[in-house]
Copies of this chain bind each other. A is one copy, B any other.
Amino acid sequence: MKKNDIRTFGIVGGDKRQLFLGKSISDSCCDVIMGGFDKLQSTGALTLADVKTAVLESDAVIFPLPSVRGDSSINTPFSDRTVILDKEEQSSLIHKPVFVAMKDKFLRAYPSLADARVFDYAARDEFAILNALPTAEGALECAIREYEGTISGSRCLITGFGRIGKILAKTLRALDAEVTVSARRQDDFAYISALGYKAENTSALKSVRGYDIVFNTVPALIFDRALLMNTDTNTFIIDLASLPGGVDFEAAHKFNIDAVRALSLPGKCAPKIAGQIIKTTVFTIIEEVYG
């Protein structure tokens, strides 16, 4: 199969992001058949069909983020039906590229596809990097909304200098916050300094004093009982780390520290960009594998 053989994409399930994904593909190059959007009457130029048509009549199929639910059904928030791929659909998928998020879970639900060309777009590094931008903007939105001062002039601590930490630090600094980033590696400390932020050592974080807002990006229990006990009570904490997150919310509540969880921000704050990022990633995979 060559990339030019892919003329029609099936998009099965998902939320607004998949609508923008469909629109973006449709605008640029290929036909798109949307399946699993029964609640919608129309979506502009996109063809709305049933799931079977979207799977059978397409050359490649894109599933949403996440792709399947706990009961093996496809994640279809725009449909009231429970969508489980039947034999015919599974057979059809074996012969075409299939793009999913969380491949392991998808294959546990549909083991017959174990030998199919199933690609996990959400596991790609560039997917996570591109999503760091809408995540950072979403975190900023949360901070403006919840924090009682302005971002300008606020003292912000970002724990972690990975993808989100890098983009978020730039965003906050651009709004004239005083930005401190905590990290663990010497090269990260050097970048933090060269980019004009202050640095702290995550490993040595025994207290959090003198910060107005803290953004946690580390997927580990950084803000445990002990650290929260040594955190200023007027500090506002936003936990951006994927579940189980990095904050002991119970302890935070007990110590009177405001803390909120902010997850899935790209889909919530910028579904259009989030959809385009899925498209970019899927097409990069196609270029690499079928180009």
Contact = CB atoms under 8 A, between A and B. Distances in A.
Interface of A: 16, 20, 124-127, 129-130, 132-134, 137-138, 140-141, 144-145, 147-153, 163, 166-167, 170-171, 173-176, 186-187, 189-191, 193-196, 269-273, 284
Contacts of A133: 150, 152, 193-194
Interface centre among A127, A189, A190 (most CB of B within 10 A): A190
B145 A141 contact: yes
B193 A16 contact: no
A195 B167 contact: yes
A232 B282 CA distance: 30
Contact of A148 (B16, B138, B196): B16
Kindly report how many copies of this chain are found in the complex they form together.
Answer: 4
Contacts of A130: 190, 193-194
A186 B272 CA distance: 21
A216 B16 CA distance: 28
Given A16-B148, A140-B140, A140-B141, 16 more contacts: A125-B187, A126-B187, A126-B189, A126-B190, A129-B194, A134-B150, A137-B151, A137-B152, A137-B175, A138-B144, A141-B144, A148-B273, A149-B272, A150-B269, A171-B175, A176-B196
A224 to B, nearest CB: 26
Contacts of A163: 194
B187 A129 contact: yes
Contacts of A152: 133, 137, 194, 196
Contacts of A175: 137, 171, 174-175
Contacts of A150: 133-134, 137, 269-270, 273
A54 to B, nearest CB: 23
A272 B150 CA distance: 8
Contacts of A144: 137-138, 140-141, 269-270
B196 A20 contact: no
Given A175-B137, A272-B149, A284 B125 contact: no
A236 B138 CA distance: 18
A144 B270 CA distance: 8
Contacts of A125: 186-187, 190
Q: Which of A132, A147, A189, A196 has the most CB of B within 10 A?
A: A196
Contacts of A270: 144, 147-150
25 contacts: A20-B148, A125-B186, A125-B187, A126-B190, A129-B187, A129-B191, A130-B190, A133-B150, A133-B152, A133-B193, A134-B150, A137-B150, A140-B144, A144-B269, A145-B145, A145-B269, A148-B272, A149-B272, A149-B273, A152-B194, A152-B196, A166-B191, A174-B174, A174-B175, A186-B284
